[in-house]
Structure 1
């Protein structure tokens, strides 16, 4: 499970008018404009680690990022002045990874992760249906997938509002059963971001509800204990929450959401989800192929140890 609590925002000085970036397979090159200033090497500082890069000119920071798009070999960093540009060459650790940009920006992540997913769908699970839906929409627009919401699909299929089932005997079980049927159908779809029903009413909160969720990559949008109204108020609520959280741990990636939720944070959470998915996919480049095999064999619930025998 990969955990991502926030995405760092790279800083690029507004005084830097030129920003050029090139990916040359084994290395990447960054060119920063120096505004025609006459500089000597002693006035420039370039500090690099495997994932960070800080550039200062005359003690002023022109670039500071803790989230390079990929990892580098910091000891092999080379920089020099070329006319009115500062040129920085960074050696990649993974030469097969294509860098869309120098940092993990929204644009570079949506471009890069869309390629890494190879059409595999993404499922968002968590306590809040509303958060799942809003983040799914942002995520889908970014990677050019189809946004889907199982709550809306269940209501369309059953021709009634889910809220009307809550007070009925067996209503929660009926919702889980209906969503499970929807997920079975969606497991055969490609290029979709699916927002699932949250809490005790959703299939993802049940141990038996994951068979078809495993068809795609699952991201758990986990609200912290002090996040809005998510704090349990009764002992039975707390026990139920722990049971659902246990099921959500089946997700391959986790994004923690702290504080009081506001829909304006949807894109930031979507970006954190992309960052977590990128790390997951790079940790095992055969994952998408195994997901495809799992679907072709009929989503039998044997993820990640797929049994290829009949």
Structure 2
């Protein structure tokens, strides 16, 4: 133990502390600007605590204080994050009302311009937490083609029917069917009625659209109609691009959808019930769970057996005669009572 003497006005004071030991000579660096610091001899250096050896050794156990992250825990956290994102706690205004009122029910956007419909679906989906389905991309993947032009009209419609049939049991998605495709078939609507049908229409006063069969179909099937005016002129900020048109339609669509769901608060529950029963095609008059469209079709097409065709009219004539006789008896009863 080295001692150090400290000079004080009153006298000398000896301090004994291991921190006040003299510094070794090899650690002292002279103060010269042109001379670089040199380490001391190798023999005077202290040995490292963890020596590095080239010889193979067994893998050492991890001494890190951070535990290994469980994959299941990560997956659970991811699911919780998606649930919080889809919930309406971070939404405000019309977006929050739509999320709360839809109750995970899917949406279907119809219209003449499929590119515009899909662009609006991506914007609305990002705000609500819904997934916009790219139907042309899925069809190309199913048919192993690079473009829909390589398929015939029948092949395209059949593939789209398969996609729509697969989406009918999916919640929180936005489908954009192709104009003039599978929606022209009545069987496709058996799958589409499980979602809220929205018709997106752009109006141009200078170029009014003719009343075609597709537009008549949109009018008959759509539950929510969103009509946006085409903006023209140099005053349009950013130009009349697809993104700007989609944003303008999305700004109109969300309040319109919120008002419709507020006007029909039971719509989401009935849509969900329709999906849970199997999308049997009984919309909007939902039938009991034991109802079957096949049995109803057979009953409607049933014909009377041979030999019994004329009995039904005879029975009807007898019933009519009996009803007439009963009416005459009821009318004569007051007169007989008065005479008596």
Settle same-fold status: TM greater than 0.5. Answer: yes
Whole-angstrom CA distance in 1 between matches of 2:206 and 2:136:
22
TM-score (norm 1): 0.56
Cα contact 1:188–1:295 (8 A) shared by 2: yes
1:26-65 aligned at under 5 Å gives the runs none
> For residue 172 of structure 1, what is the aligned residue in structure 2?
153
Is 1:123 equivalent to 2:105 in the alignment?
no
Deviations 1:81-103 (A, max 9, x none): xxxxxxxxxxxxxxxxxxx9xxx
The offset of 1:270, in angstroms, is 1.5
> For residue 198 of structure 2, what is the aligned residue in structure 1?
219
**Alpha carbons of 1:121 and 1:151: their partners in 2 closer, same or farther (altered >3 Å)?**
same
Deviations 1:217-256 (A, max 9, x none): 011112336588xx66xxxxx5xx6211122120110111
For CA contacts below 8 A with separation 6 or more, give which structure has more relative contact order: 1
User: How big is the alpha-carbon RMSD for the aligned residues of Structure 1 and Structure 2?
Assistant: 2.6
Deviations 1:170-207 (A, max 9, x none): x112211111110111110011122222x22x222444
Is 1:305 equivalent to 2:288 in the alignment?
no
Is 1:109 equivalent to 2:94 in the alignment?
yes
Is 1:272 equivalent to 2:243 in the alignment?
no
1:153-168 aligned at under 5 Å gives the runs 153-165=138-150
Could you list the runs of 5+ residues in structure 1 that have no partner in the other structure? 1-99, 101-105, 233-237
Local SS of the residue matching 2:109: strand
Whole-angstrom CA distance in 1 between matches of 2:223 and 2:146:
31
> For residue 254 of structure 1, what is the aligned residue in structure 2?
225
Could you list the runs of 5+ residues in structure 2 that have no partner in the other structure? 1-88, 232-239, 292-340
Local SS of the residue matching 2:133: strand
The offset of 1:124, in angstroms, is 0.7
Identify, as 1 or 2, the structure richer in strand. Answer: 1
Whole-angstrom CA distance in 1 between matches of 2:281 and 2:206:
32
TM-score (norm 2): 0.52
**Alpha carbons of 1:257 and 1:207: their partners in 2 closer, same or farther (altered >3 Å)?**
farther
> For residue 28 of structure 2, what is the aligned residue in structure 1?
none
Larger radius of gyration: 2
**Alpha carbons of 1:220 and 1:150: their partners in 2 closer, same or farther (altered >3 Å)?**
same
**Alpha carbons of 1:227 and 1:121: their partners in 2 closer, same or farther (altered >3 Å)?**
farther
**Alpha carbons of 1:126 and 1:227: their partners in 2 closer, same or farther (altered >3 Å)?**
farther
Whole-angstrom CA distance in 2 between matches of 1:280 and 1:153:
31
Cα contact 1:119–1:190 (8 A) shared by 2: yes
How many equivalent pairs are there?
193
The offset of 1:208, in angstroms, is 3.7
The offset of 1:269, in angstroms, is 0.9
Is 1:132 equivalent to 2:117 in the alignment?
yes
Cα contact 1:205–1:248 (8 A) shared by 2: no
> For residue 245 of structure 1, what is the aligned residue in structure 2?
215
Whole-angstrom CA distance in 2 between matches of 1:182 and 1:244:
20
Deviations 1:143-163 (A, max 9, x none): 011121212211221121444
